[in-house]
Structure formats: structure tokens, C-alpha cells
Amino acid sequence: MDRQIRRLGFAFVAMFALLFAQVGYIQVFAAGRIAGEPANAARQIRAEYSVERGQILAADERTVLAESVKNPDPNSVYRFLRKYPGRELYGQLTGYYSRIYGFTGLEDAMNPYLSGTAPEFTAQNLTDILLGRPKVGGTVLTTIVPSLQRVARDALGNHQGAVVALDPGTGDVLAMYSKPGYDPNPLSTGTDEQINAAWKSLISDPERPLVSKAFQELYLPGSTFKLVTASAALENGWGPDKTWPNPHVLDLPQSSSTLQNFGNELCPPGGPATVAMAQAFTSSCNVTFGQIGLRLGADKLSTQAHRYGFCPILPPSQITCAAPTIPFILPWNSGRFPEAGYFNQNLPKVALSAVGLDNDKQNPLQLALESASIANGGLMYAPRLVTEVRDSTGRTIKLFDKQEYGHPISVHTADQMRQMMISVVASGTGTAAQIPGTTVAGKTGTATNCGPVPNCNVPPNAWFTAFAPAGSGQTPTIAVAVIVLDGGNLGSEATGGLVAAPIAKQVIQAYLKG
């Protein structure tokens, strides 16, 4: 009799084990496949909104960028609503979580962790099922410094453009703000009619607020590309003191075209017969750097650009990159520069590319990475926006370590570049970025906004990049890149030194003050 009872007991245990295994398989391992069935779409959306999705936090671990709150309507099929307390301040980073339009930004990139479906949550999910506890997503901790993000927004003011600030020693994104931005809340809460109206308003806006000017749009870099050209010259043995002829204009070979300095002026002022590269860099002389580009040739110039992370392209058939060269957690457009074959003995294009024209393209994130690698002794880190994920108990379940991208330049070249960039701010085109008591290294840029249209009346885009503290023996802790579109409030009179440099100064100054 006892043997029969034991057998019956074992049978019940086995059946319960199979039952729990099946439930666990369906709710954990097969959940994605089942949810993908078209008939389950509406049910899946309701199921997602029954889970308390995890928070997205700033680096201070207190400032909430995104969170789920209980729906005040007890009759709604959506138990939780997604809220964004910072509204447009972080909108292009968090993205939106919408029951109609899906999700973007960190909501998309970190969805398995925020929703609690990542493999790291398997044990917790099984325990929750057995104990009947509600499912709770993980908390995502970012690198964003809230006070610096606000400074970046305020410094831009009414200008359209973007600011990116990085930690050169880690690649951490300290601030990344683009104007115009957007508030994700109307896409995530409200009636279907309200959500659809908000979407239509955003996608019909000609200023494209859903697309970040900090890391998704691409623009001609103008004279900020001289960072690349100067690096190539130094890497190939031409020192800062090497002198170059200094004509008023550069007659481009194989054509009747010429390359002029900014404003068609002598550069540097006074127009000496020859000019050292360091002096030409300080005054941002196009004629000199056009000559340097021609002497370097397409191979060396392209090689250096690609080492800095510019994506190789071969226009005109290929004008975009299949994937960014430098990894980033959000979808972004890394800078692009043609392969050497594009130039195909077309020397005028080599000269134009050396000063940031023709088919060169970048955005502030790309430029900030260049400055950060120079500040960091030639070592570039990939940009990092997320540092870790924690479960509902506060336990760290996933770490995102800093990631080396490579060494675009040597330590010696980085030191030479640092000295030339210091001169730009001390006595050159970037004096508006000077900070009393702090050595700042920078580079200005003013880029045509005309595209292939010659002599158009569209105001230029103004660029500036810098890092600090840059004095001898100091370790730079912040690198910044700024773009102001269409000349800002100066219109056609705008330059990077006049419009963008003061913005970078405010961001650097605020960060160094803590």
C-alpha cells in the first residue's frame, strides 16, 4: 500500500513539474514567438502595458528620464502609462514608447531589459510566476549629467543645432542635446486620436524634431575637418613648423577653379610669403590646408579620416554607410569620407576635401569623438550612453564597460595637435572659448550650406569643438562639439568662432565647476 502511495506521489510531482515547465516555457522562452503571431498583436500590446516597465535614470541615479506609472483610469485595459518627466530635454535619447507607433531610442535599444524579458531576468521571471508576483522591468542607468544637459539646452538658446559633450577617458556621453527636440509624452499617453494627432504634427514638421541633429543628421564639417588633415600631415612626418607657400588663392590643378581663404582674405593677416602649418591651423587658412591635402594625396587623407571613424563611401553610387564605423547603442550616422578611389586623380576634390568640403560629412558626435581622442593621447573610446542595468531589487545584472575603438593617431601626434588647438583658442579663431584660469584647446569651422549650388545666399553652419583642461600635465575631462545651423542669430556673418565657440565655453565651464 505504501509503495502505491509513493508511486502516486511521484506521479503528482512529475505532473506538476511538467506543468510548471510548460508554463515557464510559454511565458519566458516562447513568449517572443507567440507574441509575433498577427492575431496576438492587440493582446500583446495590452500584455506589455500590464507590466511595470523599468525606469531610465540619469547618471546621478535620481533624475528620472522615463518611468511607468499606474493608469488613473481603473477601467482601462492599459494598467501602466509611460511618462517622460524631462519632456523634450531627453526626448531624442529616451525615444518614445507608444502603443500605436512602437518604440525608439533607448526604449527600443534597451527594451529587453526595461520589459524584463532579457535572458538575465529568466530566473527572476520563473520565481515571480511560481510566487504569483507581478512582473517588473529593469532599471537602466545612463551616463547623462542632468545639469550639463540643461546647460547645453540653455546655451543653444533659440539657435537650431546640437551640443555633444563626452568624457575623453571613457567615451561617456555627458550631454547630448539637439534643437528642435520633441516631447515623447503625447506619443505615449492619451487616446488613440490624441496620439495620432501628435504623430502627424511631428512627422509633418519641416524641422524634423524626431531626428537628432547631434548624432543622426550629417553636415559638411568645414574647417573642423582640418583636425583630420593636420593629423594626417603629422602622422606622415610633416611637423607643425613645416612651412608652406602662402598665395592669396590656390589655383586647383586640372581645373580653372580656385580655393580661397574664408572671406577671400589673406591668411594669416598680413599674408607672409610662407606659413607654418601650426600658424595656418591657428588662423584656419584654407589655402594652406588645400596644399597639404594635395601633397598628402587621396590615400593618406582617406586613411586618416577612416581611422577617426569616418565611414568609407564611394560616391556617387554610394552616399550612405551600411552601418556606423564606431559602435553606439542608438542608431546613428557616423561621419563619412570617400574611399581613395573616389578621387581617381581628381586633384581639385582632394584639396576641397582637405578643408571639409565636397563629400565630407559629420555630426557633432563624430566631431566630439575626434576631439576626445586627441585629448586622450590618441586613444578613442566608443561613445557610451548606458553603464548598467539593475533588477527590481536593485541588484546589478548587466554592466556596459567602456569600449576602445582604436588609436587614430599616435601619442606624439596627439600632443602636437593639442598644442595647435590650444593656440586656436589662445590667439586664433576660437578666442571666444577662453575660460579664465583654464587652458582650452579647440577648433572652429564655418561650412557652406549650399550643397552643389554655387554662391547661394543660405547662411553657413557654424561649428566648434574643444576639450579642457588642456594645460601641460593636465588630464582633459570633457570634450565638446557644437553646431549652430544657418548662422544662428548672425546669419550670413556667422563663423564658428563667433556663434558656436561661446556655447561650447558655457558647457565646458559649467562641467569644470562641477
Q: What backbone phi and psi angles, to 5 degrees, belong to 260? A: -115, 160
Contacts of 380 (CB under 8 A, 6+ apart): 171, 308, 309, 326, 369, 372, 373, 404, 405, 406, 407, 408
- Identity at 389, one-letter amino acid code: V
What is the distance between the alpha carbons of residues 135 and 169, in angstroms, rounded to a whole number? 38
What CA–CA distance (Å, rounded) separates 254 from 346? Answer: 8
Specify burial of residue 269 (Cβ count, 10 A radius: 0-12, 13-18, 19+): exposed
Rounded Cα distance, 154 and 19, in Å: 58
**What nine digits make up the cell of 279?**
600658424
212 is catalytic: no
What is the C-alpha separation between 360 and 461, in angstroms, rounded? 14
Write the DSSP string, 117-176.
-SGGGHHHHHHHHHHTPPPB-PEEEE---HHHHHHHHHHHTT--EEEEEE-TTT-BEEEE
**What's the rounded Cα separation, in Å, for the pair 350 and 293?**
6
Sign, Cα dihedral of 391, 393, 397, 401: positive
- Strands 386-390, 56-57: parallel, antiparallel or unpaired by DSSP? unpaired
User: How far is the C-alpha of 134 from the C-alpha of 175, rounded, in Å?
Assistant: 35
- Cα 496 from Cα 332, distance rounded (Å): 24
Residue of 68, 115, 212, 223 marked active site: 223
- Give pairs for 60-69: CB < 8 Å, separation 24+: 60/145, 60/146, 61/141, 63/146, 65/90, 65/93, 65/94, 65/106, 65/142, 65/144, 66/90, 66/94, 66/97, 66/106, 66/107, 66/184, 68/137
Closest CA to 308 of 277, 341, 343, 335: 335
Q: Is the peptide bond before 186 cis (omega within 30 degrees of 0)?
A: no
Query: Which residues sit opposite 142 in a β-bridge?
Result: 386
Rg (CA), the chain: 27
Please check whether residue 398 is in contact with residue 389, taking contact to mean a CB–CB distance below 8 angstroms. Answer: yes
Active-site positions?
223
